[in-house]
Structure 1
Amino acid sequence: MIYLQLFLSYLQIGAFSFGGGYAAMPLIQAQVVEKYHWLSMTEFSDLVTIAEMTPGPIAINSATFVGTQVAGLSGALIATLGCILPSCIIVTLLAKIYIQYRNVKIMQDILGTLRPVVVSMIAVAGLGILSSVFFLSGKFAPALSNFNIRGIIFFAGALLCLRKTKLSPILIMVGCGILELLYQTIF
């Protein structure tokens, strides 16, 4: 039964996550954290970090990670297959349709309409991850004790480095990881 749940969950994610990995994050969160409770919100934030750091698409990396957590190697294979199957079918069909109708106005209108939808899905994913970093409970609460000061400092420092320097995002992530390791070792 768990294999079927994994396959169908990631089949939905693969079928409806238009716009790439960040647009898939709210869908992955809805399935993995909220519906099936395979991961907590903290583990989901860790999943996003791991999926971002490893090569490959975020949705596929998350399918492999969650599948392994839930049902071992066979779970990873089934979740990953569920994630990539819709893309294989949809891209093949869309390529054929696009080649045939690329200059038709309605096709351009449809693509133009999808752009803001994808941006909003990415924004929802970003805000969800930000709230899990900024607030210890993972949700906004006005109490000062609920703020994750270290997370806010790391976020602000990383954002500043990304905006003001030409440093690679990978180096900034590694640097933040080293700083957190030093902090945990000292305190």
Structure 2
Amino acid sequence: MPKKFIKRYLPSPAKVQAMKSLGFLGDILNEPNLWHINRHSVARAFLIGVFFCFIPMPFQMIAAAFFAIWFNANLPLSVALVWISNPITMPPMFYFNYKVGAWALNRPVLDFDFQLSLPWISERLLDIGIPLYLGSLIIATISACAAYLVIQFLWRRKIRSEWQTRRRARKELRRARHDQAS
């Protein structure tokens, strides 16, 4: 995973630290490990961000930020990845999570017409909520672990490729010097 690509799209630590809305975090934002871009911090950021993007809860970004701080993951990347679930992607994601939860609980998938009313929500909360959260936990765990492993694999592959390129360049340079000396 190229560092330059990630750095290009993430805000600088100074820009984030200057945000007045994050003032309550105090000196935590000055921790340099939260801003490092290396294989481990980026992989942990993907693990955290992808996990919380699949969990239907308010303030997903705050939860992702808390866990990024706790696990020394890249903070801005963890928070940004939560936006995989946005108002456009949430309905299909959470419906899929609900179907997975219903399957795991061996319950039939309910046909329902959503109504934004307190009686409907209180009546359907257990019927829909339990499969939704179980499915969300299953999908979040699988997706987060897969994202972590994919980032680790891609980063290592990129490093190996760069090493091989440098090794070939050194061999060519040695060969050229040897040819000049002869």
Do both share a fold (TM > 0.5)?
A: no
TM, length-normalised to structure 2: 0.27
Larger Rg: 2
TM, length-normalised to structure 1: 0.26
- Higher relative contact order (Cα pairs below 8 Å, separated by 6+ residues): 2
